Structure formats: structure tokens, C-alpha cells
Amino acid sequence: MVYLHVVLLIGIIILAARLGGIGVGLAGGLGMAIAVFLFGIKPGEMPIDVILIILSVILALSAMQNAGGLRFMVQVAEKLLRDHPRYINFLAPLTTFVLTVLSGTAYITLSVLKVIQEVAKSIGVRPSQPLTAAVVSCQIAITASPISAATAAMYVVVEKMGVPYGDVLLVIVPTGFVAICVAAFVASRQGGELLNDPIFIDRKEKGLIEVGIQDSKELPDSHLAKRAVYLFLASVVFIVTMLIFKPIIGHKIGSRDIIIITMFVTTLLIVVTCNVSLRSIKKASLFSDGTESLVVILGIAWLSGSIIGAYIPEIKEQTGEILRQYPALLALVFFITSAALFSHGAAAALLIPIAASLGIEASTIVGAFVAMSAMYITNIYPTAAYAIAADDTGSYMSKRWNGSYLVNHPFILPGLCGVGAALPVGFFLANTFIGG
């Protein structure tokens, strides 16, 4: 029977990958129906904590978006990139990293990608270099964000293992930063000179390349946009402060409750002080995208947790000791699963509780967490696909890099090198601050 269960899980993951988006969650629902009604598997616990945290953060981000806050953050990033074009290969990934860490979502970076392409093209830099670094960096940044769904899923578990929130941040933020630095360096060495590229020359002669840089439009109510951003950032600082100084403050409130309460209050403050319509919140693009992520996490994580959870004793007996002795294997599991599920949050909600139940130390889980960022394995993830579509120079069109063989695209090597270089740093910092 175990083989049928494994076949079911793998089959559903393959189906989920083919459907993509909300279909990932629906595929999980189909798998649950087969597992429960046909195979008699007892339903596992739903990842309720993670879903509630994501919902509350999405609510606040959607309100901020409707107040113009996200556009204001993007404009700040645009100004930085346009003012310092010579450093585009480093500033591009740094910009998307910071934006994603602060917001907890990579979707905020989509508007920046077009700017990166324009600036790179204007100074003769191959756009695929900074664009690739930026895309990989925003994916890695999810594992360094204090309010991302993946980090929330991870900390809900390691908090119960006695790990302070501050120690987690001391590991995941520097580790993520090391990863994007290495990824940026590797990406900057990929491909030849733009001006000598035959594809670029051909497209330029045919008039297919847009000339000049488009000026960004000013926000009509910039003071309201800034206020919304400041309120949201203040909420992030409050959450981090409450969790880091929990022993000093003396409260016993869990991370889930602190995040949810803070985000709900922040949403209300943005609505009241920034003239945001309550009805407009549900129409925000981030709200729809975020709701999709909730369905994804509920469906696929619930299915995987139910099937794998039925065999925890056997898995613990056969693999627990191996993973404890060779922590790099846990990172490999994180990496493969996140790539298969196309979701940091879904992979974290599935794997972190299982890893903890196997007796794997919290330091190993946190140290390997950066590997939960493998969405760049293919070039069809939204940020990667948008970067390719935004580039009119043809720098992604070379047969060597166009993804015709699934993995022959510029995103995979910088991502692998970045995560590979960051993992030893992550394990070192985790052993230093969290210990065994």
C-alpha cells in the first residue's frame, strides 16, 4: 500500500506542477479525496497557522497597495537604479532582495524588472545579467524575510523547539545576503557583450528594440503612499521587536498571534489614514495573488502532510539518523520539494513539521532554510517569465540560454551557486546562535 501512496503523492505533485497557480491547491484537494475516501488515510493537520499569517499579511499589503504604497517603494528602487546605472549588476539584485524581505512577497519586484532592463540596455550591459540576478535574489529573499509565508511556517515550528526569533533572523538574513551576492557575481559573468551579440544587432536593425528610458510617473497622492509604507514598515518593526525581546518584555504571545493582530490593526490604520476604500482591498492584485497562495498551501501541504504523516514512525526510524548526521541532505530535500511545489510557503508548511518530528535539530532546520528557494530551477515561474518577456534585446533568446531543454537558462546556475555557497554560512551561523 505504501507504494500506491507514494505514486499518488508523486502523481499529484506532477499534476500540480503542470496546472500551476491555484491548480496546485486544487490538485492537492483531488489527492486528499483519493487518499481519504479510496485509501482510507486519516486526514493530517491543516497548516492553519501559516494560512492565517499569510492572510493577515496579504490584507495589510493589499491596503498599502491601494494607497499607492507599493508603487512608492518601487519608485524609490527605480531612482536608485537610474541614479547609479554603472552598478546595475549589484544594485538590481540588492533592490529586489530588500523589497522582498520587507514585503514578504516577490510579486512586488515585477514592476522593478522592466526598469532594470531599461537601465542595463541604456549603458550597454546585457539585460539578462542583472535581470537574472534580480529574479534569483527575490526568490532567495523569501527565506530571509521576517514576514514571508515560508518564514512563518518555519518559525511556528522552531519556536516550539525553544528557538528565539532574533536568533532565527541572525541566521536567515545574512545567509540570504551571501546567497544573492554570489548569485549576482555568477549572473554578471553569463553571456557575451550585448553590443556584439548577433541577436541584439539583428533586432536593433529591425527596429524591435525600444530606445531610451521611460520616466516613471509620479503618484498623485504621494504623501498618502508614503504614510501607508511607513505604517506597514512600522508594523514589521513592531513584530520583530515583540518577538526578539519577548523574554525582556515578558509576554507569552506566540508569533502567529502577534503577526495577525499587528497586521489587522495596520490594515485598519492604512484604511483610515490613507483614504483607502474597504471594497477596493479585495480588488488589489496582491489580494488575488495572495488568496491563490492560500489555496496552494492548503491543498498540497495538507495532502503531503497526510500521506507522509501516516508513515512518520517508519521514516523516523530509517532516515532520521541519516539526516541528523548529514544535514546537507535536508537542504537537498528542501530544495527539490520547493522546486516541485513552486511555492516556498507550501514546501515549508509541508517539510518543517516533518523535519521536527524526525528529531532533526532546530539549528539544522534553520541553517538549511535558504535552500527552500528553488523556484528558479525552471524559467516559467512568474518572476522569471516576466523578466524574459520584459527584455526586448534578445539577451535571453540565445539557443544556449533559452530554456529549450528545460534547465538551459540563465537562472539556474546563479541560483545553485548562490544557495550552495550560502549553505555552509547558514549552518555555521545556526550552530553559533542556535546550537545543538
Closest CA relative to residue 433, chosen from 353, 362, 334: 362
Instruction: Say how far apart CA 259 and CA 251 lie, in whole Å.
Output: 14
Say what the pLDDT of residue 423 is: 96
Closest CA to 56 of 305, 235, 275, 229: 235
Helix axis angle, 48-66 to 222-244, nearest 10°: 150
Q: What is the pLDDT of residue 380?
A: 64
Q: Which residue bears the cell 509604507?
A: 229
Neighbouring residues of 121: CB distance < 8 A, sequence distance ≥ 6: 127, 194, 209, 393
Question: pLDDT tens digits for the chain (436 residues)?
Answer: 788 988 998 888 778 767 767 887 898 899 999 999 999 999 987 878 778 887 888 899 899 989 998 888 878 888 888 888 889 999 999 999 998 998 888 877 877 888 898 888 888 888 889 999 999 999 999 999 998 888 988 998 998 898 998 999 999 999 999 999 999 999 998 877 777 778 878 887 777 776 554 555 554 458 899 999 999 999 989 998 998 888 888 888 887 889 899 999 999 999 999 999 998 898 887 788 778 778 877 887 788 778 877 877 777 677 767 877 777 789 998 998 888 767 788 788 878 988 888 888 899 999 999 999 988 887 667 788 778 877 878 877 776 665 555 566 788 999 999 999 999 999 999 999 997 6
For 196, half-sphere exposure in the C-beta direction (CA atoms, 13 angstrom radius) is: 3
Give the pLDDT score at 284.
85
Site of grid cell 515583540: 242
Who contacts 382 (Cβ-Cβ below 8 Å, separation ≥6)? 107, 110
**Are 345 and 293 contacting, i.e. CB atoms less than 8 angstroms apart?**
yes
Q: Which three cell numbers stand for residue 280?
A: 477596493
Residues in the chain: 436
Of 355, 286, 280, nearest to 324 by C-alpha is: 355
User: Cβ neighbours of residue 213 under 8 Å, at least 6 residues apart?
Assistant: 82, 118, 119, 122
Contacts of 285 (CB under 8 A, 6+ apart): 65, 107
> Is 210:142 a contact under the CB 8 Å cutoff?
no
Q: In 3D, which of 236, 97, 271 has the Cα closest to residue 176?
A: 97
